[in-house]
Each structure stands twice: as C-alpha cells, then as structure tokens.
C-alpha cells in the first residue's frame, strides 16, 4: 500500500480581513498626534531639569570654594566682591557679600553664583557665619 504525499494548502485570506480600515488608521494617527508632542515636551523638560541640576552642583562647589578662599585670605571683611569662574565652556558669575551679624562678634558671609541654562539665569546662594575674632 502506497501513501500519498500530504499536500500543504495555504490558508485563503479574504480580502476584507487583510488590512486596517480607514477609521482604524485615522484613530491611530490621531492618538499619535496627541501623544508625540506631549512625550517630546516631557523629554525637553527632563533635559532642562538635568542641566539645571548639574550646573547647580557646579555652582555650589564654586560658592564653597569662594567662601573658603575668602576666609583663608582674610577678605571676608570687605564690603562686596565679584568674579567670574570658567568651568569648561560655561561661565559662573559670583558675588560675595559680608555684613555684620546682629548677635555676637560674627559676620554673615553670603556667596551668590549665577549661571545660565537655555538662555535663562539661575542662582545658588551659600551663607555662613564667620567669627570676627579669628580674622
């Protein structure tokens, strides 16, 4: 007895089931038109927040360095000092202000560091009390 070889038959696809309808395509395009701009704006805001965070960390380090240098060189008693620090391709403007503290023989020393992110200025302030008797 001889076996007949099995013949493979491909399923027949009806023409109406092979593609999306116009309504489905339009619904998908409408959804993409809403979701894509929102997602891109979210990415832009996340990028801005990341840049601000990185530059604030650098500005805080600069402020701390300015305070420490002014204390070591005994320039804390001066009225006001300004300067610019170049970190890579970015500039950070700083100003140091020293004023008498109302209690004890202390001075309030404040350093403000200003930096720009995407055309807008931001700042970091660092304040500390310095004992006048050691100066």
Domain spans of the chain?
Answer: 19-134
**Is the full-model pTM beyond 0.75?**
no
The H or E element containing residue 106 is strand 106-117
* Percent of the chain whose pLDDT exceeds 70: 82
Spell out, as residue ranges, where the chain has pLDDT lower than 70.
1-7, 10-17, 75-79, 133-135
The rounded mean pLDDT for the chain is: 86
Helix, strand, or coil here: 105?
coil
pLDDT value, residue 90: 92
CA dist 45 and 74 (Å) reads: 42
pLDDT value, residue 1: 59
Helix, strand, or coil here: 62?
helix
CA dist 93 and 72 (Å) reads: 21
pLDDT value, residue 20: 87
CA dist 93 and 47 (Å) reads: 23
Q: In what order do the strands lie in the sheet with 90-100?
A: 80-87, 90-100, 106-117, 120-131
Is the CB of residue 130 less than 8 Å from the CB of residue 68? no
As a CATH number, domain 19-134 is: 3.30.1300.30
């Amino acid at each position: 007895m001889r076996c007949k070889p099995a013949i493979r038959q491909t399923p027949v696809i009806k023409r109406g089931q092979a593609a999306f309808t116009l309504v489905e395509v339009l619904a998908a395009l409408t959804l993409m038109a809403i979701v894509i701009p929102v997602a891109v704006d979210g990415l832009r805001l996340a990028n801005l927040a990341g840049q601000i965070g990185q530059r604030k960390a650098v500005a805080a380090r600069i402020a701390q360095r300015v305070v420490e240098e002014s204390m070591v060189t005994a320039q804390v008693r001066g009225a006001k000092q300004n300067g610019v620090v170049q970190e890579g391709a970015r500039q950070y403007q700083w100003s140091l202000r020293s004023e008498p503290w109302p209690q004890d023989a202390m001075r309030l020393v404040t350093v403000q560091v200003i930096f720009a992110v995407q055309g807008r200025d931001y700042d970091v302030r660092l304040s500390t009390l310095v004992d006048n008797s050691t100066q």
